[in-house]
Amino acid sequence: MESGPLAGHVALVTGGGTGIGLGCAEALLADGAAVLLAARNLDRLDEAAAGLRSNFDDATVATVACDVTDESSVAAAVRTASELGPLKIVVVNAGFGAAAPFHRTSLDDWSAVMATNLTGAFLTMRESVEPMVAAGGGSMVAVSSIAGVETHRFMTPYTVSKAGLEMLVKQVADELGPSGIRANAVRPGLVPTDATAGMMSIPAIVEDYHAQMPLGREGTTEDIANLVRFLAGPESSWITGTCISADGGHHLRRGPNIDPVMEMLHPGDTAP
């Protein structure tokens, strides 16, 4: 698209095929950016891209298969983004969670979550530095979680990975600010996506989430995408190193009670 505050900007969105990542892509496209969607499932990406093109006739929407845990795959995705134009925006969204009692958390589960949520974020941000500097600077926005600041019983790998992600963002902001690169994070609360569908199918858990939110409702992908769009664009040009909650106020209270799920998955074994 030739107009809008993000016209002439290329945005790379990891985990861009569904949910929050797809919502972020739509918000960026609406304001004129060209977007490269990256994820492991290329079929899903192509379907998402087709939907975006139908909504934005003149938009540039491309896709690339990318496993953020693989260094060469991330490097190739960043090169593809740079071929579209000046890489000015990177949305670090790829991630997932696992749930188990701490004493039953396997090393494989720990390593898999860390590899995607933290190492994948590191690789995405590191590989983007050179082309972003060449483009005159830009904005990195990472998708963290309320789990980065509030304990979530039975979700240790996820909470630790998100807390680490937030420190990674602060490190990048502090070190790369002189090069014109800003880095910030958003902390979503409960948002209906494919990733949260299982949890949201249990009414008791959803009710507990609502009880911990002063605003009393789950969020939407648009709620998160609008904040990402703000942090990606010129309106936030003097903001870096921040982690902003978009969770209905959930961070003011406690983490969720997912005991009902754990009792189903680990009956009689939720405590050592």
The domain that holds 166 is classified in CATH as: 3.40.50.720
- For the stretch 153-195, pLDDT in tens is 999 999 999 999 999 999 999 999 999 999 999 999 999 999 8
Average the pLDDT over each of 39-43, 186-190, 259-263 and give the range with the smallest value. 259-263
For residue 30, the model assigns a pLDDT of 97
The overall average pLDDT reported for the chain is 97
Band (pLDDT 50/70/90 cuts) for residue 198 is confident
Q: How many CB atoms within 10 Å of residue 252?
A: 12
Band (pLDDT 50/70/90 cuts) for residue 221 is very high
pLDDT at residue 84 is higher than 80: yes
pLDDT at residue 1 is higher than 60: no
Residue 5 is assigned to a structural domain of this protein: no
Residues annotated as catalytic are 158
Closest CA to 13 of 90, 74, 126: 90
Residue 20 contacts residue 5 (beta carbons within 8 Å): no
pLDDT at residue 2 is higher than 70: no
pLDDT at residue 130 is higher than 80: yes
pLDDT at residue 271 is higher than 70: yes
Helix, strand or coil for residue 140? strand
Q: Residue range 130-144: average pLDDT?
A: 98
Identity of the residue numbered 141: V
Element spanning 11, H or E: strand 10-14
For residue 58, the model assigns a pLDDT of 87
Residue 271 is assigned to a structural domain of this protein: no
For residue 199, the model assigns a pLDDT of 87
Sign of CA dihedral 207, 208, 210, 214: positive
Residue 89 is assigned to a structural domain of this protein: yes
Residue 29 is assigned to a structural domain of this protein: yes
Residue 40 is assigned to a structural domain of this protein: yes
Going from the C-alpha of 110 to that of each of 37, 150, 267, the distances in angstroms are 27, 19, 21
Sign of CA dihedral 42, 44, 45, 46: positive
Closest CA to 175 of 228, 133, 123, 230: 133
pLDDT at residue 132 is higher than 90: yes
Residue 44 is assigned to a structural domain of this protein: yes
Residue 241 is assigned to a structural domain of this protein: yes
Name the domain count of the chain: 1
For residue 169, the model assigns a pLDDT of 98
Q: Residue range 206-220: average pLDDT?
A: 97
Band (pLDDT 50/70/90 cuts) for residue 3 is confident
- Tell me which residue range forms the domain holding 27: 10-264
What does pTM read for this prediction? 0.97
Residue 19 is assigned to a structural domain of this protein: yes
